[in-house]
Structure 1
Amino acid sequence: MSAAERAARFAALHEGGCFALPNAWDAGSARIMEHAGAVAIATTSAGIAWQLGRRDYAVSLAESLDNARVLIAATALPVSADLEDGFGPSPEDCARTVRAAGEAGLAGCTIEDTTRDASNPIHEFDHAVARIRAAVQAARALGRPFILTARAENFLNGRPDLDDTIRRLVAFAEVGADCLYAPFLPDMDAIAKAVAAVAPKPVNVLAGPRAGFVPMDALAAIGVRRVSAGGLLARAAYAHTIEMTRAMLAGDLPRLAAVPPGAELNAAMRGKGD
């Protein structure tokens, strides 16, 4: 399936209803998610970093796109990439990143309004909007569907300002972002306000509000169109590995008997062309 065909499938998923977008970090996790029934997948900056033995946000654009190509090759699914802050502070940096994402065959990507400066973690409003405008223009120049998701990161960076977050989401929508995303909004009321503010454009939610995750049906009922997992699935896999390794090192070998057999994993790894 061509990049344009995958991208068209991905765009269509945003047109109605609510779908799950699990985040893979390598070929195996991508194939597992496809085997489990995922209709599309995304990358995770944290998962990419961890599988390289690094902390989150210690991955280059080239490494992120190399990872995306691995996922694209491993499955027949549309793939969207977590491209962090656009890998540079300027609008042109964001445009360059989107052009590279399109060339890699991605169906979409996310761009954050973060600065990577702990003392001033969020770009000033007008500059943040200019960055998304440039990213949108680059996406449109690809000549095929490409879902540009704009992220407002206040609540992940110690700035719990809902009014400013919604103001940013609205501005990003007005300059053409296809999907809007504000990770870890505090509660369902905040999510509902964000959805209403940018309607009819789709909103992505990271698993659920910070107050406590809710069933996907509850998010769909307030108009959420897309639910991603960020690094949660990678964290689950690595956390279980830590737990089982500690059991083994402590001599608790019977604990390893609780690990499921490999038959389903082997079935999942039989991807296209196998």
Structure 2
Amino acid sequence: MTSAADRTALFHSLHQHGPLALPNAWDVASALIVEAAGAKAVATTSAGVAWSLGAPDGDALDRDLAIDLVARIARAVKIPVTADIESGFGENAEQVGDTARAVTEAGASGVNIEDGHGSGLRDVKEQQERLAAAREAAPDLYINARTDVFLRGVGEPGERLHLALERAQAYLEAGASGIFVPGVTDLATVGELAKAIDAPLNVLAGPGAPAVHELGTAGAARISVGTALASAAYAVARKAAEELLTKGTYDSTSEGLGYGELNALFGN
């Protein structure tokens, strides 16, 4: 089996030959499905993970539960795993460092750490301290520093690009490996971000967004889909449950994976 160090080195390199498309998984089965589909790495979705473990998204999930799931996924797949650890599962920088160390020991090659906090964003200096602590605790980890300027609509629309770039630069100085700017998919803005950020740019895509190759041409090195896969799976579950309980029929499950096909993914 490929060593954890080799998988981490591979994960870093995947950002240089992009665009890297990451379908986000939320449990071991979805991670195995993503791997079988041909993904080069598995990314978790913090919301999907939280939901699957009985908690809402937004720093409410117990850190140990999140890290245990990362460990289970990392043991199950052969490709690199990057974990969305929300804002670091810590009230202070030291605790964020503890999380980064633990998630590395669990087998992750990368993490997302966001700057969203409460109804706004963390102070830039505070977020730098949190990222620096993660870097010190996990020197080889790919740290994808997320800024929610666009996602949360911080500031006036005309100011957001400048605000996002200011934060991106500060986060890179603190030790981030790449920058994640969710809330932006228009190609012009993606291009401006990519041109100004001296590191791989991650964007969040979904229905209606430009295709992966278009975002890659604009400069995005990494495209992920967040909760999209988990939400779609849960939508099928709701539709099938409602059909069963109201009509007494089962057609909504007709396109489900076969028992044997799914069970075989766990063979290793």
TM over 0.5: same fold? yes
The AA in structure 1 aligned to 2:112 is T
| Identity percentage of aligned residues | 37
What is the match of residue 40 of structure 2?
Answer: 39
CA contact (8 A) 1:113 1:152 kept: yes
Q: Indicate yes or no: 2:227 matched with 1:225.
A: no
1:253 aligned counterpart, secondary structure = coil
5+ residue gaps, structure 2: none
1:102 aligned counterpart, secondary structure = helix
CA shift at 1:10, angstroms? 1.0
TM-score (norm: length of structure 2): 0.90
5+ residue gaps, structure 1: none
What is the match of residue 146 of structure 1?
Answer: 141
The AA in structure 2 aligned to 1:203 is L
What is the match of residue 83 of structure 1?
Answer: 85
CA shift at 1:34, angstroms? 1.0
What is the match of residue 2 of structure 1?
Answer: 3
1: CA distance between counterparts of 2:196 and 2:129?
20
CA contact (8 A) 2:115 2:122 kept: yes
The AA in structure 2 aligned to 1:206 is L
CA contact (8 A) 1:110 1:148 kept: yes
1:132 aligned counterpart, secondary structure = helix
What is the match of residue 260 of structure 1?
Answer: 255
CA contact (8 A) 2:185 2:203 kept: no
In angstroms, what is the RMSD of aligned CA positions? 2.0
The AA in structure 1 aligned to 2:102 is A
What is the match of residue 215 of structure 1?
Answer: 211
Relative distance call for 1:254 and 1:204 in structure 2 (3 A) is: same
CA contact (8 A) 2:20 2:223 kept: yes
What is the match of residue 170 of structure 2?
Answer: 171
CA contact (8 A) 1:31 1:269 kept: no
CA shift at 1:174, angstroms? 2.7
CA contact (8 A) 1:40 1:77 kept: yes
2: CA distance between counterparts of 1:80 and 1:218?
24
1:1-274 equivalence runs, <5 A: 1-57=2-58, 58-115=60-117, 117-118=118-119, 121-140=120-139, 145-159=140-154, 161-185=160-184, 187-199=186-198, 201-207=199-205, 212-251=208-247, 253=249, 255-256=251-252, 259-260=254-255, 262-263=257-258, 266-271=260-265, 274=268
2: CA distance between counterparts of 1:273 and 1:243?
30
CA contact (8 A) 1:94 1:134 kept: yes
TM-score (norm: length of structure 1): 0.88
CA shift at 1:260, angstroms? 2.1
1: CA distance between counterparts of 2:35 and 2:29?
10
Relative distance call for 1:202 and 1:244 in structure 2 (3 A) is: same
1:110 aligned counterpart, secondary structure = strand
Relative distance call for 1:215 and 1:21 in structure 2 (3 A) is: same
The AA in structure 1 aligned to 2:111 is C
2: CA distance between counterparts of 1:261 and 1:239?
13
CA contact (8 A) 1:75 1:271 kept: no
1: CA distance between counterparts of 2:28 and 2:250?
30
